[in-house]
Structure 1
Amino acid sequence: MCEEYIDKPLYLLIADWMMAQNRWITAREISIEFDIEHSKAINTLSYILAEVGEIECETKMIPNKLAGRGCQCQRLVKVKNISPALYSRLRTSRLAKEVVCDNTPRLSVVPPGELNREQKWQWMLSKSMRR
């Protein structure tokens, strides 16, 4: 794991926690640990497995003994490795956002009461275009 602090997205926080546990983990455990809905934990696990190539995982399925459910199996996931390239990509992305935010010009906002009739009309039109 990377020891430096990075504003981590939820999927990376979960992957780091799973790797630190060094055992098989279910979506139910993730939902309890991170205080998120079970469906969000399932979706986050699916995202980690399908979309994030820098996180190396093992999966296994065990049968459930619950009747009346569509899927009669439970997915267990174990994170083996998280590539340092993922951290550097996030760090670069964060730095790029900071540069963009710092370079944006600050516009002075004029209250609508101090504008003439035409300026108020333009101001109203510009507000409606943003929605």
Structure 2
Amino acid sequence: MATSITDMTGAKKDEMLSSLAALVVADAGGEVSAETLTAVIEASGNKASPVYTALFAKVVSAAGGVESFTAAPGSGGGGGGGGGGDDAAAVVEEVVEEEEIDMSGGMDMFGGEEGTGDY
């Protein structure tokens, strides 16, 4: 839901104005400082608490610029799947069957001859 800045009050409005001003100043190539943020906000016909402009200026400079907070162009989600391409050659696995080895040794587990007991 989109909200107009004129509908915002208090801290939310100050935060929005300060963040938008930081984007404007950085886009213009200026230094993001409390003074420049205040100047942009006042030029737009708004007022923001000096606490917010100072806070935003400090955070932006500590992060190394506004670019740290914005996604680079083209850095969205992963690309789509590739085209179909040629049919792959069928991979044939050669299955080697092992010989069955009679491990019974001619005795059942009770020591008698195999096949002579009740079990």
Q: What TM-score do the two structures reach when normalised by structure 1?
A: 0.29
Q: Which has the higher strand share?
A: 1
Higher relative contact order (CA 8 A, sep 6+): 1
Q: Which has the higher helix share?
A: 1
